[in-house]
Amino acid sequence: MLRITNLLAVGDCITRGVEQCKGRSYPELVAERLGCRVVNRGFTMSTSREGVHLLRDNLSKEYDCVILQFGVADSHVTFRYAPYILYYPDRPSRKIARNIVKKYKKLTKKYGLNKRIGETRVVPEEEYRTNYLNMIDRCGDRLVILPETIPQQETFRNPGIKRYNEILEDISKVRSNCLLVKVFDDFLRDMESLYLDKGHPNEAGYELLCARVIDALKRRSTA
């Protein structure tokens, strides 16, 4: 097994954990198995855009391994001309702006402008790739763990999520310090018992995520 002493996890609400799983998400479980220290900087509603800032503000020389997990919000479809307001770093003016944008998007959907004028992903594919490469470059020669984004019970979202997972796989093939962790198919096969709600894992789901990360680390250590 690879020796990891200080682990930093940067991601969205899947990384952070919600409700009873907060503080017992998969980064904490992985750290328990490895006997290492972990800092979880999962941030609700964040995309890889926020991830660039989160990593910049939290990465320090003490960490020898980093988990990066974004994709749920990135791959979501939205009105093409809706502005995006960062959730992190946040400030009161951004909160006000997001409320305005949400109302604007509801109106465009109500009057069918999404379909007539056009839709796009919240973070387009090439920007998603660029954001990840930016974060990986910032990590230097540290091991970077890239868990796939899990499927959603709102299944119409899953083709987009699969495409963004393919981008992560492409990156892992050209960046030798990156370790892809495949979990999408595992969750897809057992949608009933692994979820707390339509999109967040429950305790069993996080145990599975942890197990897949540990399995991937073991394979890398023996390769």
Q: Is the pLDDT of residue 190 over 80?
A: yes
Please spell the DSSP secondary structure of 43-84, one letter per residue.
Answer: -TT--HHHHHHHHHHH--TT-SEEEEE--TTTT-EEETT---
- The percent of residues in the chain predicted with pLDDT above 70, rounded, is 100
Residue 113's pLDDT is what?
87
Residue 196's pLDDT is what?
95
Query: Could you give the 3-state DSSP secondary structure of residue 215?
Result: helix
Sort strands 65-69 and 119-121 into parallel, antiparallel or unpaired.
unpaired
Residue 2's pLDDT is what?
80
CATH superfamily of 6-76+124-222: SGNH hydrolase (3.40.50.1110)
Q: Is the pLDDT of residue 123 over 90?
A: yes
Burial class (CB in 10 A: 0-12, 13-18, 19+), 159: exposed
Residue 197's pLDDT is what?
94
Residue 17's pLDDT is what?
95
The string of pLDDT tens digits covering residues 84-105 is 999 999 999 999 999 999 999 9
Q: CATH 3.40.50.1110 spans which residues of the chain?
A: 6-76+124-222
pTM of the model: 0.95
As a whole number, the mean pLDDT across the chain is: 96
Q: Is the pLDDT of residue 122 over 90?
A: yes
